[in-house]
Chains A and B, each alone.
Chain A
């Protein structure tokens, strides 16, 4: 029983990270209807900004950790908006496939530039937050896990407030519902899309730092697998659906943790894709998504 609880806890903290990344995918898909492959590399850049910032602030302090988190989120928000401005905006009217390939190009560019600047060898991520283990019977909660879950919950509530309680959030929802009609109502689509990229990238940066705290080895290709899995999480919850992305991330993280704790552990990378295929075949709109019938 205690092993079950322990695994559940590990799974939830991994799932919270997937959820943060998945939110970025789902928001961009919501407004632009395309898969932003570069998102997983923004996640990587976030972790690296955290790595360099982590050397400037004293270790094991809460305020130091929060400063690192904030700087990294702002840095990645700027990066995400720059990518959108330079690479995606010129292709706004081009077919989705072209944007997809451009996104792949941006993703490769970030990875290879990362390898040139940071080197391909993995580095140890500094422990920026205080480290403490809490034991409840035989279940051990590390402070990093608590931080992951706390930060993720705070950010998700914040996101929910932005999307449903602010003017820009209303504009985001309007653009995602119907970009042309939104433009006619006076919404500046470019500003909204740019804001969406910034917001999603900031969440990816937070995800990157939280991931690096729990799996403290970072390298320029670290984003690829978590990125793909977070994308699966976004699909699982229903792409374009914000609570769905959070739910999908949590489910995926938990399932994956349980699989890696079982005799099937070597298949843990396959399980996400198996879930993806099953969900695509039986409920392509995702768990919380709305199914739409195609009309001629």
Chain B
């Protein structure tokens, strides 16, 4: 953690603004890749709070992402034509609406996280993983059946509000919140819950509450990432948020080394770039991707960027 996290956050926000200012100088393809990386970093860092720091294995992150994506898209699709008419609003008006939509998406995802978390966090390990997987799939099937949200066809014509500024800004905010939380006095409770749940309870920590808090915060940022994703791809379908997407995020967390924010960020970048780099070998790229995944897991089971393995981890 940097010595002055608030200053680091401010610097990151300014940097995001700077990148936005010069964004038309860059190759649009690189900007798109960067946006994709940013969204994945938010997802991986927020899941790391649940999986890595609190030790609760969740396989339903894509479900929360879809809640955020749908709710925020619904907000902009409803308000944008009514407020701005045909021509669209100014940058500030659209930005304000987008922020509102993202927060709505994040909060609804957090609420979904609460609903899922309260009953399921009583379970441990594999069982928790399965229940979150089940909830993720139920969320997806539900969206498939809600006609007002497009049903199986999904939502189309979402306004392209996601700019590189918003992505970088929320990457910075996510990392800031997770890092500060984990390093705070309160946040020690997450680590204690992970390291030894029974011992933590014996010294009076309410581990269930820690788990739920981690889950809800993780879901909130997943919802934000979903909102960014929806306004970036401009069209969302329920199948885009299936269990494969959850797996993809989990892989980033594990490859980065559980509970190691920097490693997880690097892994998210690497795993987003990998399919892009492998584009020349077109049809074989996903074969190679999965093959590399197995090889990496066999060669470095402690995570690609975790160098402290075996010292204190249980």
7 additional contacts (CB under 8 A) given A273-B141, A280-B134: A94-B301, A97-B254, A112-B289, A115-B286, A116-B287, A269-B137, A280-B131
Residue A296 at the chain B interface, CB threshold 8 Å: yes
> Are A90 and B298 in contact, with the CB atoms below 8 A?
yes
Contact, CB under 8 Å: A276 / B131? yes
Chain B 110-134 against A: per-residue CB contact (8 Å), 1 yes, 0 no? 0000000001101101110111011
C-beta contact mask, A84-123 vs B, less than 8 Å → 1, else 0? 0001001100111110111011101101110110000000
* 25 intermolecular pairs with C-beta atoms under 8 Å apart: A35-B130, A87-B294, A90-B298, A91-B298, A91-B301, A96-B126, A98-B254, A98-B297, A108-B293, A111-B290, A224-B243, A228-B133, A266-B141, A266-B145, A269-B141, A270-B137, A273-B133, A276-B130, A277-B134, A280-B131, A280-B134, A281-B120, A281-B122, A281-B123, A284-B127
The list of the 7 closest CB pairs from A to B, nearest first, reads A273-B134, A108-B290, A270-B141, A105-B293, A105-B294, A109-B290, A112-B286
Q: How far is the CA of A129 from the CA of B66 in the complex (A)?
A: 44
Count of inter-chain pairs, beta carbons less than 8 A: 111
Task: Check if B57 is an interface residue, CB within 8 A of chain A.
Answer: yes
In the assembled complex, which residues on chain A have CB atoms less than 8 Å from the CB atom of B251? 101, 104
Which of the residues A94, A97, A228, A266 comes within 8 Å of B57, measured between beta carbons?
A97
Q: Is A235 an interface residue (CB 8 A)?
A: yes
Cross-chain contact B138 with A273 (CB below 8 angstroms): yes
* In the complex, A267 has a CB within 8 A of chain B: yes
**Interchain CA distance A163-B291 in the complex, whole Å:** 34
Residue A161 at the chain B interface, CB threshold 8 Å: no
A108 near B145: Cβ-Cβ < 8 Å: no
From 211 to 235 in chain A, residues with beta carbon under 8 angstroms from any chain B beta carbon are 224, 228, 231-232, 235
Which B residues are CB-close (under 8 A) to A105? 290-291, 293-294, 297
B177 CB within 8 Å of chain A: no
Hey, which chain B residues are within 8 Å of A96, CB to CB?
Answer: 125-126
Size of the chain B interface, CB-CB below 8 angstroms: 40
Contact with A along B237-252 (1 / 0, CB 8 A): 0000001000100110
A148-186 vs B: 1/0 string, CB under 8 Å? Answer: 000000000000000000000000000000000000000
Instruction: Kindly list chain B residues whose C-beta atoms are within 8 Å of the C-beta of A228.
Output: 133, 137, 243
CB of A5 within 8 A of chain B? Answer: no
B283 within 8 A of A: yes
Query: Which chain B residues in 200-251 approach chain A with CB under 8 Å?
Result: 243, 247, 250-251
Residue A274 CB within 8 A of the other chain = yes
The chain A residue with its CB closest to the CB of B139 is A270
Could you tell me the distance between the alpha carbons of A269 and B134 in the complex, rounded to whole angstroms? 10
Instruction: Tell me the nearest residue of chain B to A102, going by C-beta.
Output: B297
Q: B133 — which chain A residues lie within 8 A by C-beta?
A: 228, 273
Q: A157 → chain B, closest Cβ, in Å?
A: 29
| B198 and A101 form a contact (CB under 8 A) | no
Chain A interface residues toward B at CB < 8 A: 34-35, 87, 90-91, 94-98, 100-102, 104-106, 108-109, 111-113, 115-116, 224, 228, 231-232, 235, 266-267, 269-270, 273-274, 276-277, 280-281, 284, 296
Q: For B297, what are the chain A residues with a Cβ–Cβ distance below 8 Å?
A: 91, 98, 101-102, 105
Task: Report Cα–Cα, A211/B289, bound state, in Å.
Answer: 29
Check B137–A104 contact: CB distance below 8 A: no
Interface residue B135 (Cβ < 8 Å from any Cβ of A): yes
Q: Which of A266, A269, A270, A280 contacts B120 (CB 8 A)?
A: A280
A residues less than 8 Å from B137 (CB atoms): 228, 269-270, 273
B284 on interface, CB distance cutoff 8 Å: yes
Q: Which residue of A lies closest to B258 (CB)?
A: A97
* A106-B126 Cα distance, complex, nearest whole Å: 19
Contact: A284 with B123, CB < 8 Å? yes
CA distance A281 to B263 in the complex (A): 34
Q: Chain A residues near B287: list those with CB within 8 A.
A: 109, 112-113, 116
One of B120, B243, B294 near A277 (C-beta < 8 A):
B120
Chain B residues whose C-beta falls within 8 Å of the C-beta of A231 in the assembled complex = 130
- In whole angstroms, how far apart are the Cα atoms of A112 and B290 in the complex? 8
Q: Which of A94, A104, A115, A280 contacts B130 (CB 8 A)?
A: A280
**Residues of chain A with a CB closer than 8 A to B134's CB:** 232, 273-274, 276-277, 280
| Complex alpha-carbon distance, A294 and B269, angstroms | 39
Known: A108-B286, A109-B291, A273-B134. Contact between A281 and B119, CB under 8 A? yes
CB distance from B285 to the nearest CB of A (A): 9
B127 touches A296 (CB 8 A): no
Cβ B130 vs Cβ A235 within 8 A:
yes
Is there contact, CB below 8 Å, between B294 and A109? yes
